[in-house]
Amino acid sequence: MWIKAGSLLAVDPEAIVKCPECGEADLEVFDTKAGEDHIERHMRCPKCGAYNALYKNKNIAE
């Protein structure tokens, strides 16, 4: 479930979250800047290549 993975990683980018697609590898997480006060948090599986991202206001602690 990407929704669950995303909600965990939105709070804690260091969280260890298994890939929602293959369930075999832990997601890699990295952030990129998106405008003045937002970031995009990218989540990628090193095994199967599944990918998702979320958009987040970096000034609001969730």
Length, in residues, of the chain: 62
Decide if 57 contacts 37 (C-beta within 8 A): yes
Instruction: Please pick, from the candidates 50, 53, 54, 58, the single residue that binds Zn ion as defined by CB under 5 A.
Output: 50
Whose Cβ is closer to Zn ion: residue 28's or residue 37's?
Answer: 28
Within 21-40, the residues that bind Zn ion by CB under 5 A are 21-22
Whose Cβ is closer to Zn ion: residue 35's or residue 49's?
Answer: 49
Other Cβ atoms within 10 Å of 50 Cβ, number: 17
Give CA 45 to chain center in angstroms: 10
**Binding of Zn ion at residue 45 (CB under 5 A)?**
yes
